[in-house]
């Protein structure tokens, strides 16, 4: 199955997750323009529909984001842009002196089977750390605390046990298996 993403970290995690279901995922490294939308679900769906025009056959994509409660859900659907601009330092700055550190990651998988687009969602709740910690993972992992450690302090296997990506892809893979 082709997984279209420009993000190597995502691909690495999904490859491992898929292996548990005996599914082989191939990386179609490609950057595509994300349409605007108010939710990740809407964006993932629209992106998949747009990509059906460009890619032959079935494929899967995933859109994800970090939602910080004290920032009213920011960066949410803008996570990619915010990461490229202000990054983790910027989020930590916005959160300086803020007591409510609650945040969650969401991942939305959109699968095109050659005919229709199917969507699967997963979330994981945690907190925004007070400083960056850890060398692993990617993106916001160094500032996302789960049970006292950041995602960047975990290896792929450990993050994959609890992550938003795991939860979304698990739903998708189970659905695929049941369908066969
Ligand atoms: P593609 O759209 O090409 O798949 P992207 O990196 O642009 O790659 P998203 O728009 O879905 O992917 O990602 C939004 C941002 O959230 C991006 O900056 C990621 O680095 C970050 N992000 C997504 N999943 C994450 C995770 O598991 N841990 C940390 N940061 C994550």
pLDDT tens digit sequence for 43-77: 999 999 999 999 999 999 999 999 999 999 999 99
88 within ligand 1 shell (Cβ under 6 A)? no
85 within ligand 1 shell (Cβ under 6 A)? no
pTM (2 d.p.): 0.96
Q: Of 22, 56, 63, 180, which is the active-site residue?
A: 63
Give the residue, by CA position, lying nearest to ligand 1 atom 28: 141
**Sorting pLDDT into bands at 50, 70 and 90, what band is 12?**
very high
pLDDT tens digit sequence for 99-157: 999 999 999 999 999 999 999 999 999 999 999 999 999 999 999 999 999 999 999 99
* Whether 63 is catalytic: yes
User: Residue 153: left (phi > 0), alpha (psi -120 to 50), or beta?
Assistant: alpha
C-alpha 168 – ligand 1 centre gap (Å): 14
CA gap 86, 94 in Å, rounded? 10
Element (H, E) at 165: helix 164-179
Q: Which domains are delineated in the chain?
A: 2-179 (3.90.950.10)
**For 140, which DSSP code?**
T
pLDDT of 40 > 80? The answer is yes
C-alpha 180 – ligand 1 centre gap (Å): 30
137 within ligand 1 shell (Cβ under 6 A)? yes
């Amino acid at each position: 199955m082709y997984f279209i993403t420009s993000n190597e970290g995502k691909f690495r995690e999904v490859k491992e997750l898929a292996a548990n279901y005996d599914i082989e995922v191939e990386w179609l490294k490609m950057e595509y323009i994300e349409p605007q939308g108010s939710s990740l679900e809407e964006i993932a769906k629209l992106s998949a529909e747009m990509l059906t025009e460009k890619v032959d056959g079935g494929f899967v994509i995933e859109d994800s984001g970090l939602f910080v409660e004290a920032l009213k859900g920011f960066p949410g659907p803008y996570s990619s842009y915010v990461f490229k601009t202000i990054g983790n330092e910027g989020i930590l700055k916005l959160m300086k002196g803020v007591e409510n550190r609650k945040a969650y990651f969401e991942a939305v998988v959109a699968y095109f089977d050659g005919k229709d687009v199917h969507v699967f969602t997963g979330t994981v709740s945690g907190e925004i750390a007070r400083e960056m910690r850890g060398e692993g993972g990617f993106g916001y992992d160094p500032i996302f605390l789960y049970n006292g450690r950041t995602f960047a302090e975990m290896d792929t296997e450990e993050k994959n046990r609890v992550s938003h990506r795991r939860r979304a892809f698990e739903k998708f893979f189970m659905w695929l298996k049941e369908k066969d």
